[in-house]
Amino acid sequence: MAAEIAEQPSAWRNLLAARAACVEIGELIASRAPRFVQFVARGTSDHAALYAKYLVEIGLQIPAGMVSPSAVTVYGARPDLRDVLLIAVSQSGGSPDLVKSVEVGRAQGALTLAITNNESSALSDAAELHVDVMAGAEQSVAATKSYTSELLALYLVIAAWQGVDTSAVDALPDLGDEVLGSDGALAAAAQKYRYAQRLLTTGRGYSYPTAREAALKLMETSYLTAQAFSGADLLHGPLATVDPQVPVLAVVPGGRGGDAMAPVIARLVERGADIFGVGAASAVAELTGGVAIPDAPEELSPLLEIIPFQLMALHLSLARGENPDSPRGLRKVTETL
């Protein structure tokens, strides 16, 4: 897991060097002018899909939604998907329910795109279009480099569809290397939280998927209860569960999403919460602790802001005497139907 976290900037460089494939697919999608986008994914890839949902709804102003695979695989639904783009996101491309969802979607008229880290997978074969995120083999059960490579691939495809300038992505690998330098601070933070049994993660906008992915990484490597809430949802009841003994991991980047977290942070402070933040230096400085990340466009910040949480999950697992590479009872591919 440590090696794969560290490989992320190199993986991004590989994908950027081959970005022409993403651009070509994005332009093809634009020519087809879909009226709606559906995403189907599981686990970590579901969080990448949620990030892409924000890209579509904000950048393209096209409605987008998340598929419930069981509607197709268990209940036999066959919705009319003409003029719909169905995007399946999967590290392995081997989950039967995702494959079935794409097969049915294609038969029902959808333009189908698979985003995987396996160009010869069943999912990539089932879809009309395919993008290989080129992250390289991932041995740890906890997905790290495949997640951020999925984010980057989705960004490149959707940006090409939108027809916007993507030059800002060229700085990402170097910025990622800079974020990896916070490893020592994250190791220290893990020692502080090693006895925690429950914590919350929160963020808004493009950073809400980061909060969800951070919670998943902590649960699957350290076996603690981690609940993820959007900042807005946190104020609608779950705030009552917060006290000084329940750490809160907050994503507070620059931009509108980070600004929208300000009233959330204020309410958490009122409750005496221990808040560890990842994001803009000015926001992190006001919290109990945290790690500042370099400035980047808000829609690209999720690639950087997840790295400190990956490192925290790694160090927290080790501090608790666990093996982050092989979490108990988990496998790399979950075969649901």
pLDDT tens, position by position, 45-71: 999 999 999 999 999 999 999 999 999
Residue 332 has pLDDT above 60, yes or no: no
Write the secondary structure of 29-90 as one string of H (helix), E (strand) and C (coil).
HHHHCCCEEEEEECHHHHHHHHHHHHHHHHHHCCCEEECCHHHHHCCCCCCCCCCEEEEEEE
Among residues 100, 133, 164, which one ends one of the domains?
Answer: 164
Residue 327: pLDDT band (50, 70, 90) is confident
Among residues 119, 134, 164, which one ends one of the domains?
Answer: 164
Q: Look at residue 184 and tell me if it is in a domain.
A: yes
Q: Look at residue 157 and tell me if it is in a domain.
A: yes
Q: Look at residue 332 and tell me if it is in a domain.
A: no
Rounded Cα gap, residues 126 and 148, in angstroms: 23
137 and 214 both lie in a single domain: no
70, two tokens? 């069981």
123 and 205 both lie in a single domain: no
Question: What digits encode the pLDDT tens for the residues 133-168?
Answer: 999 999 998 999 999 999 999 999 999 999 999 999
Domain count, the chain: 2
pTM of the model: 0.95
**CATH number for the domain harbouring residue 57:** 3.40.50.10490
Question: What digits encode the pLDDT tens for the residues 180-221?
Answer: 999 999 999 999 999 999 999 999 999 999 999 999 999 999
55 and 199 both lie in a single domain: no
Residue type for position 122: A
Domain extent at residue 299: 172-319
Residue 334's pLDDT is what? 58
Q: Look at residue 333 and tell me if it is in a domain.
A: no
107 and 126 both lie in a single domain: yes
- Please report, rounded to a whole number, the percentage of residues in the chain having pLDDT higher than 90: 93
312 and 257 both lie in a single domain: yes
Question: What digits encode the pLDDT tens for the residues 82-135?
Answer: 999 999 999 999 999 999 999 999 999 999 999 999 989 999 999 999 999 999
